[in-house]
């Protein structure tokens, strides 16, 4: 799902990059692997593991050396055997910490198939990549995470996605441990002293190195009935779930929902699930959300385990992540991208496919609204001049790392959905099926996919050009729309430019091929017409005459923003009740993005809130709350803030009152989600005393304060638990903080631990805040847990100055604990609330010289600083006097 890197490699997209003759980018093409046989001896209680790797290699031309990858390993011996079975003298040469390994022969070998055999040992990794270990109490687990370039920490190999070959894996592990890998176990043999066992796994289908996976430890194993054969798949598919010791019962739900998800994709793709079994494994510490290893999906255990006390939102997340990772078994695993500049294909497909599967199998989760909300978040990032393109050239390792961002996932998925909407679902599926069938067990690029979809679409070059315009240039199109009505005839003028927030200027004039599907409202009904906007400005005749209102993003499937004449926007606002929930959210975004552009006033934005606040969909009801929070923090002052807060509390508190403080049996998920959102907003942003009193009571009960005995987090409402614990710690001083810390240390449940860490981080007490910050760097807090604490710290305005001062003193130890994939986003963690050029300059002065120590740090810092400067420009622009007038006019007398 996401990825990480540690190595010092530099990768280059175009040609073979070399540093001092060492190919630090793509490897040369004159040697390629044909097959791997790996035998690893792994005891998670030790510090190192041992390996033997035999790789069959085809030499396309005569050579006295082969380049491949290996990193941070001790190669004890290397042997080369030629096609005749003769031993050729060989030695292994490492080149610093480049991750590149050279095998040099005593004599040049002719073009032929040879075998390279390595004998090596390596340390378990300390940053959750390659082969790493996690200790939980006295238990030790070994887990792998290879994507994108960490297989070279596990075994010598050709560590690039374009090399897809079969693997034979043998693991020797302590006899009492459970070991799993990509395929089924064929054989298991005990050592003579019964201390060890050796497992031989079935040969894999062709895989890139980054999808090889295994895990060793005292796992609980939950078996499920095999998934029965169907029209697409002939055999039954074995299914299991694994988790840390003691977690077996919590694996049941993830197992229960898996078969329908597998069947969904088999039906959609017309390709059988590609591997010989499916294991879902929850690791006690993991850097990303989950990873789509072929046949062995590895999750953070928190994202796989559920129980009767889990939040409703948690079940939805588990389902979504499972749907995402299972989608990858086709996209990414069955068909793999040849190089990292196409990684969007994997992630965009999995994100888009997940929404499709969820909409079909769990309509009550409203995947359309959820993915739209995520798309709007990506649009905010895409509004930065420093944003990435979907297909950003890969010029360095930071580019590989930062390729796993919202542009790849959410924008990529939105572009697929938009073109699918344009050509129709059946047509689009035909193209997708053809793409998968023609590249199965091989590689496929963006060009290959576009070719398949274009053929299916029957729209020729316009389709290909349109898609490419979204892949190969950054930014969100802004579609300016004007409607002219004359003697019953209607004409729409559409013009395109790049959406830019207030104060941002760009000389570029990008042009997209945008399918603009538009809903025209007439009386009680409406109709939809689609136009392809390719020129800077185009006119279109509207069938059906002059509408009462119109929405230039029907079904909310377009990846663009629109700008309407004030009267047209007002007509649309008045007709909001006739729009679908996703369309209402797009309308809210039109208001919000107009505000960010400086063309909608703060008063107009606030005026739009009451009509949305009553919506059933939580995403719609709360759509403008983040912007309210921004206005409250950055524009309002001590004089206007109380009136604004009183106004917004009157708008939302009665609704929370009707929803109540606990989830009711059988209540709709939308009510549950709304309760969570409103309660959090009122308690944490507005700090409404009544809301805090109720949540604080729940939080104190959960912590066992007030003579409640032992902590029991189930005493707080499952959906309000995190906020309740935060309030309890914020208002409860040292005893509450101590209780939360003790509960954290006693808990083996990762979801509970996350909630308790967020509560510790949220303290507003200066002394306790200092304690919390230092605590995050101790071994008590796992690497994958740190973010919960520091994000919660940064959320509280009172903590921000101290948090920043702390970072300037603790940068090195903090950075060293970060998984490589998280390093680029370090600046963002410390940016909340920063909204002035002085803030940006101060952050830049400290971090700019240090980005060289952060993988992808330059991009992460650049985007963060630009965001702060945009915030500052908008803040200067907003009319404070007008806001004061608005709040006076809306104060209750």
Query: Which residues of this chain interact with Zn ion, rule CB under 5 A?
Result: 1, 347, 350
| Between 414 and 789, CB nearer to Zn ion | 414
| Between 212 and 490, CB nearer to Zn ion | 212
CB of 292 to Zn ion, least distance (A): 6
CB of 819 to Zn ion, least distance (A): 16
Phi and psi at residue 564, to the nearest 5°: -110, 155
| Between 347 and 717, CB nearer to Zn ion | 347
| Between 287 and 676, CB nearer to Zn ion | 287
Helix, strand, coil fractions of the chain, as percent rounded to 5: 45, 25, 30
Residue with the two structure tokens 């990480």: 4
CB of 209 to Zn ion, least distance (A): 17
| Between 347 and 448, CB nearer to Zn ion | 347
- CA–CA separation, 593 and 620 (whole Å): 15
| DSSP secondary structure string for all residues of 330-379 | TBTTTEE-SSGGGHHHHHHHHHHHHHHHHHHH-GGG-HHHHHHHHHHHHH
Q: How far is CA 186 from the centre of its chain?
A: 35
The 8-class DSSP code of residue 203 comes to P
- CA–CA separation, 123 and 49 (whole Å): 6
| Between 5 and 575, CB nearer to Zn ion | 5
| Between 261 and 651, CB nearer to Zn ion | 261
| Between 333 and 568, CB nearer to Zn ion | 333
| Between 1 and 648, CB nearer to Zn ion | 1
| Between 2 and 366, CB nearer to Zn ion | 2
Closest CA to 4 of 726, 852, 856: 856
CB of 442 to Zn ion, least distance (A): 20
| DSSP secondary structure string for all residues of 64-93 | EEEEEE--S-EEEEEEEE-TTS-EE-EEEE
Angle between helices 252-269 and 425-439 (to 10 degrees): 90
Q: Is 538 helix (H, G, I), strand (E, B) or coil?
A: strand
| DSSP secondary structure string for all residues of 632-681 | HHHT--TTTHHHHHHHHHHHHHHHHHHH-SSPPTT--HHHHHHHHHHHHI
| Between 88 and 350, CB nearer to Zn ion | 350
**What value does the CA radius of gyration of the chain take, rounded to a whole number of Å?**
28
CB of 347 to Zn ion, least distance (A): 5
| Between 67 and 409, CB nearer to Zn ion | 409
| Between 350 and 605, CB nearer to Zn ion | 350
| Between 347 and 719, CB nearer to Zn ion | 347
- CA–CA separation, 400 and 397 (whole Å): 5
| Between 392 and 410, CB nearer to Zn ion | 410
| Between 211 and 350, CB nearer to Zn ion | 350
CB of 582 to Zn ion, least distance (A): 23
Torsion angle defined by CA atoms of residues 577, 580, 582 and 587, in that order, rounded to the nearest 10 degrees: -40
- CA–CA separation, 865 and 838 (whole Å): 11
**Are the beta carbons of 203 and 166 closer than 8 angstroms?**
yes
**Are the beta carbons of 133 and 103 closer than 8 angstroms?**
no
Residue 141, beta-bridge partner list? 134
Angle between helices 566-574 and 581-596 (to 10 degrees): 150
Phi and psi at residue 147, to the nearest 5°: -75, 140
**Are the beta carbons of 332 and 346 closer than 8 angstroms?**
yes
Q: How far is CA 643 from the centre of its chain?
A: 38
CB of 1 to Zn ion, least distance (A): 4
CB of 409 to Zn ion, least distance (A): 7
CB of 445 to Zn ion, least distance (A): 18
Position with the least CB separation from Zn ion: 1
CB of 293 to Zn ion, least distance (A): 11
| Between 350 and 532, CB nearer to Zn ion | 350
CB of 463 to Zn ion, least distance (A): 26
CB of 322 to Zn ion, least distance (A): 12
CB of 574 to Zn ion, least distance (A): 41
Neighbouring C-alpha atoms within 13 Å toward the C-beta of 702: 33
CB of 364 to Zn ion, least distance (A): 24
Q: What residues contact residue 158 under an 8 Å CB cut-off, 6+ apart?
A: 27, 31, 32, 33, 55, 68, 69, 209
Through-space distance between the first and last CA atoms of the chain, rounded to whole angstroms: 53
| DSSP secondary structure string for all residues of 256-318 | HHHHHHHHHHHHHHS---SSS-EEEEEESS-SSSEE--TTEEEEEGGGT---TTS-HHHHHHH
**Are the beta carbons of 326 and 265 closer than 8 angstroms?**
yes
- Provide the b/e sequence for 356-393 (b: ≥16 CB within 10 Å): bbbeebbeebbbbbbbbbbbbebbbbbbbbbbbbbbbe
Question: Is 633 exposed, middle or buried (CB count within 10 Å of its CB: 0-12, 13-18, 19+)?
Answer: middle
CB of 147 to Zn ion, least distance (A): 9
CB of 856 to Zn ion, least distance (A): 18
| Between 136 and 297, CB nearer to Zn ion | 297
Q: What residues contact residue 631 under an 8 Å CB cut-off, 6+ apart?
A: 602, 605, 606, 644, 878, 883
CB of 77 to Zn ion, least distance (A): 38
**Are the beta carbons of 655 and 708 closer than 8 angstroms?**
no
CB of 346 to Zn ion, least distance (A): 6
The 8-class DSSP code of residue 139 comes to E
């Amino acid at each position: 799902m996401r990825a990480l890197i540690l190595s010092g490699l530099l990768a280059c997209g175009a040609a073979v990059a070399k540093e001092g003759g060492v190919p630090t980018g793509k490897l040369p093409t004159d040697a390629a692997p044909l097959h791997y046989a790996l035998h690893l001896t792994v005891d998670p209680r030790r510090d190192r593991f041992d390996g033997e790797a035999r790789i069959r290699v085809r030499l396309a031309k005569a050579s006295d050396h082969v380049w491949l990858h290996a990193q941070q390993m001790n190669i004890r011996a290397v042997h080369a055997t030629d096609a005749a079975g003769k031993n050729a003298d060989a030695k292994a040469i490492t080149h610093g910490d480049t991750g590149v390994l050279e095998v040099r022969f005593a004599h040049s070998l002719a073009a032929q198939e040879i075998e390279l055999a390595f004998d090596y040992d390596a340390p378990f990794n300390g940053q959750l990549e390659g082969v790493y270990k996690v200790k939980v109490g006295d238990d030790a687990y070994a887990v792998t995470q290879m994507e994108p370039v960490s297989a070279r920490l596990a075994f010598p190999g050709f560590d690039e996605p374009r090399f897809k070959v079969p693997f034979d894996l043998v693991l020797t592990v302590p006899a009492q441990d459970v070991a799993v890998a990509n395929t089924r176990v064929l054989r298991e043999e005990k050592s003579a002293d019964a201390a060890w066992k050796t497992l031989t796994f079935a040969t894999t289908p062709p895989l890139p190195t980054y999808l090889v996976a295994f895990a060793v430890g005292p796992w609980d194993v939950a078996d499920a009935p095999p998934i029965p054969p169907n029209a697409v798949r002939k055999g039954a598919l074995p299914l299991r779930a694994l988790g840390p010791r003691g977690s077996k019962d919590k694996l049941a739900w993830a197992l229960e929902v898996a078969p329908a998800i597998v069947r969904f994709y088999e039906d959609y793709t017309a390709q059988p699930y590609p591997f010989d079994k499916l294991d879902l494994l929850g690791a006690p510490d993991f850097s990303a959300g989950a990873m789509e290893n072929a046949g062995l999906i590895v999750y953070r255990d928190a994202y796989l385990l559920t129980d009767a006390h889990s939040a409703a939102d948690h079940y939805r997340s588990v389902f979504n992540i499972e749907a995402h990772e299972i989608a990858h078994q086709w996209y990414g695993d069955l068909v793999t991208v040849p190089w990292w500049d196409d990684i969007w294909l994997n992630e965009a497909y999995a994100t888009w496919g997940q929404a499709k599967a969820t909409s079909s199998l769990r309509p009550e989760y409203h995947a359309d609204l959820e993915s739209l909300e995520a798309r709007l978040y990506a649009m905010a990032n895409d509004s930065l001049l420093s944003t990435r393109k979907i297909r950003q050239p890969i010029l360095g390792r930071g580019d590989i790392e930062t390729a796993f961002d919202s542009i790849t996932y959410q924008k990529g998925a939105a572009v697929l959905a938009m073109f699918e909407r344009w050509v129709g679902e059946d047509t689009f599926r035909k193209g997708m099926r053809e793409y998968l069938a023609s590249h199965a067990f091989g590689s496929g690029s963006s060009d290959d996919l576009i070719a398949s979809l274009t053929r299916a679409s029957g729209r020729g070059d316009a389709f290909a050009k349109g898609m490419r315009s979204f892949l190969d240039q950054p930014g969100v199109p802004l579609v300016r729309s004007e409607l002219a009505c004359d003697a019953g005839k209607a004409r729409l003028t559409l013009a395109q430019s790049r959406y830019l927030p207030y104060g941002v200027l760009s000389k570029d004039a990008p042009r997209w091929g945008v399918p603009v599907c538009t809903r025209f409202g007439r009386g009680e009904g409406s109709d939809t017409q689609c136009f392809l906007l390719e020129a800077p400005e185009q006119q279109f005749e509207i069938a059906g005459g002059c509408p009462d209102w119109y929405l230039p993003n029907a079904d909310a499937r377009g990846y663009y923003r629109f700008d309407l004449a004030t009267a047209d926007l007002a007509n649309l606002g008045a007709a909001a009740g006739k729009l679908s929930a996703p369309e209402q959210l797009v309308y809210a975004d039109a208001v919000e993005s107009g505000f960010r552009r400086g063309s909608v006033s703060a008063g107009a934005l606030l005026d739009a809130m009451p009509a949305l606040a009553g919506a059933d969909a939580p995403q719609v009801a709360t759509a403008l709350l983040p912007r309210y929070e921004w206005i409250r923090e950055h524009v309002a002052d001590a004089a206007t803030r109380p009136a604004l807060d009183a106004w917004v509390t009157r708008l939302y508190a009665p609704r929370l009152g009707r929803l109540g403080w606990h989830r009711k049996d059988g209540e709709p998920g939308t009510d549950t989600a709304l309760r969570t959102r409103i309660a959090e907003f009122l308690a944490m942003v507005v700090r409404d005393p009544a809301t805090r009193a109720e949540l604080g009571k729940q939080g104190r009960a959960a912590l066992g304060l007030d003579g409640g005995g032992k902590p029991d987090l189930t005493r707080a409402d499952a959906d309000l638990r995190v906020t309740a614990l935060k309030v309890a710690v914020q208002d409860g001083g040292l005893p509450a903080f101590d209780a939360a810390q003790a509960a954290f240390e006693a808990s083996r449940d990762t979801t509970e631990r996350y909630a308790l860490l967020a509560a510790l981080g949220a303290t507003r007490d200066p002394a306790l805040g200092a304690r919390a910050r230092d605590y995050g760097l101790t071994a008590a807090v796992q690497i994958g847990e740190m973010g919960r604490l520091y994000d919660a710290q940064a959320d509280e305005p009172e903590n921000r100055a101290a948090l920043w001062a702390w970072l300037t003193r603790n940068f090195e130890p903090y950075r060293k604990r970060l998984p490589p994939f998280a390093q680029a986003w370090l600046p963002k963690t410390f940016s909340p609330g920063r909204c002035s050029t002085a803030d940006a300059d101060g952050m830049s002065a400290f971090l700019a010289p240090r980005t060289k120590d952060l993988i992808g740090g330059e991009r992460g810092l650049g985007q963060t600083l630009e965001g702060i400067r945009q915030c500052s420009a908008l803040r200067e622009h907003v009319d404070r006097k007008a806001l004061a007038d608005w709040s006076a006019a809306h104060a209750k007398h």
